[in-house]
């Protein structure tokens, strides 16, 4: 099973700042089958990024993903108040699929 | 527009079986290449992937839950189901259904349904 470790646990930033979230895998994620989800309070997760760097339909271009192998990053270029959420990475290259423990983004 | 909706018992007694159904609308459960997942999230905690099933009935379960999980598909009703046996308080969670494929992550999710295990 591939274990995903996200850092930091919590990120507290002001609107307009850049947020950088990390996801590290215990073994290589083949084909860059790494996704990022956003979960707002009381809502289901929403797919933001798939294939490590491809934005899902309707996702603003301030969200971007990068990385390969075992190290991946989600960047929010200019934080907006509605970006308050927990962000999860998921690998879908191995079975079972696994999620990271999440990074909470707080808006100052 | 594809929509998924979970339903089922919100309260289950310990040692009994949790049963949930996910109704799919705006698309066919038999549409090419897709399969259907269950994911759960204990209150205040992270996401746990339970497994998936194809319209053919082929399924894969997370080894951590494999001994207690059964999934099924009802193509005539365009829905799929999850049974989890011998539940304990640790199975209390919001349960989500979602669509996936072998090369894509879970891209469409239901709103989730809270199941509480308590006597």
Per-residue model confidence as pLDDT tens for chain B (119 residues): 999 999 999 999 999 999 999 999 999 999 878 999 999 999 999 999 999 999 999 999 999 999 999 999 999 999 999 999 999 999 999 999 999 999 999 999 999 999 999 99
In the prediction, which pLDDT does A33 show? 96
**CA distance, residue B104 to nearest chain A CA (Å):** 7
Of A90, A95, A100, the CB nearest to B60: A95
Q: What gap in Å lies between CA B60 and CA B37, rounded to an integer?
A: 9
Contacts of A96 in chain B (CB under 8 A): 49, 51, 60, 62-64
Q: Which residue has the tokens 């399924």?
A: B59
Contact between residue B72 and residue B84 where contact means Cβ atoms under 8 Å apart: no
Any chain A CB within 8 A of the CB of B100?
A: yes
Any chain A CB within 8 A of the CB of B86?
A: no
Contact between residue B113 and residue B92 where contact means Cβ atoms under 8 Å apart: no
Q: Which residue has the tokens 């860059």?
A: A32
Check pLDDT > 90 for residue A74: yes
Check pLDDT > 80 for residue A52: yes
Q: What gap in Å lies between CA A50 and CA A48, rounded to an integer?
A: 7
Contact between residue A100 and residue A29 where contact means Cβ atoms under 8 Å apart: no
In the prediction, which pLDDT does B24 show? 97
Q: Which two tokens stand for residue A68?
A: 């390969």
User: What is the largest distance, in Å, between two alpha-carbon atoms of chain A?
Assistant: 38
Torsion of CA B93, B95, B101, B107, to 10 degrees: -100
Residues belonging to chain B? 119
Give residues with Cβ within 8 angstroms of B66, minimum separation 6: none
In the prediction, which pLDDT does B33 show? 87
Torsion over CA: A36, A40, A41, A43 (sign): negative
In the prediction, which pLDDT does A63 show? 98
Any chain A CB within 8 A of the CB of B106?
A: yes
Per 3-state DSSP, what percentage of chain A is helix, strand, and coil (rounded to 5)?
Answer: 5, 50, 45
Contact between residue B119 and residue B14 where contact means Cβ atoms under 8 Å apart: yes
In the prediction, which pLDDT does B32 show? 77
In the prediction, which pLDDT does A26 show? 97
Contacts of B105 in chain A (CB under 8 A): 33, 35, 47, 50, 90, 92, 97
In the prediction, which pLDDT does B82 show? 98
Q: Which two tokens stand for residue A96?
A: 């079972």
Kindly indicate the confidence band of residue A31, based on its pLDDT and cuts at 50, 70 and 90: confident
Q: How far is CA A7 from CA A66, A83, A103, A105, in A?
A: 15, 17, 6, 11
Phi, psi of B56 (to 5 degrees): -75, -15
- Please state, rounded to an integer, the average pLDDT across all residues of chain A: 97
């Amino acid at each position: 099973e591939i274990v995903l470790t996200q850092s930091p646990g919590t990120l507290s930033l002001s609107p307009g700042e850049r947020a950088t979230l990390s996801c590290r895998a215990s073994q290589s994620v083949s084909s860059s089958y790494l996704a990022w989800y956003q979960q707002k309070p009381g809502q289901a997760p929403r797919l933001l990024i798939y294939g490590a760097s491809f934005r899902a339909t309707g996702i603003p271009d301030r969200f971007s993903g990068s990385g390969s192998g075992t190290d991946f990053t989600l960047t929010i270029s200019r934080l907006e108040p509605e970006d308050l959420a927990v962000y999860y990475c998921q690998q879908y290259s191995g079975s079972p699929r696994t999620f990271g423990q999440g990074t909470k983004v707080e808006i100052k | 527009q594809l929509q998924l909706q979970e339903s089922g018992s919100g309260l289950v007694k310990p040692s009994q079986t949790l049963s949930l159904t996910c109704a799919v609308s705006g698309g066919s459960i038999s549409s090419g290449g897709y399969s259907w997942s269950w994911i759960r999230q204990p209150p205040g905690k992270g996401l746990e992937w339970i497994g998936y099933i194809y319209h053919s009935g082929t399924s894969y379960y997370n080894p951590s839950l494999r001994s207690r999980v059964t999934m099924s598909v009802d193509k005539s009703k365009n829905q799929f189901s999850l049974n989890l046996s011998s539940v304990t308080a640790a199975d209390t969670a919001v349960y989500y259904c979602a669509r996936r494929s072998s090369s894509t992550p879970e891209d469409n999710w239901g709103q989730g349904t809270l199941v509480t295990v308590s006597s």
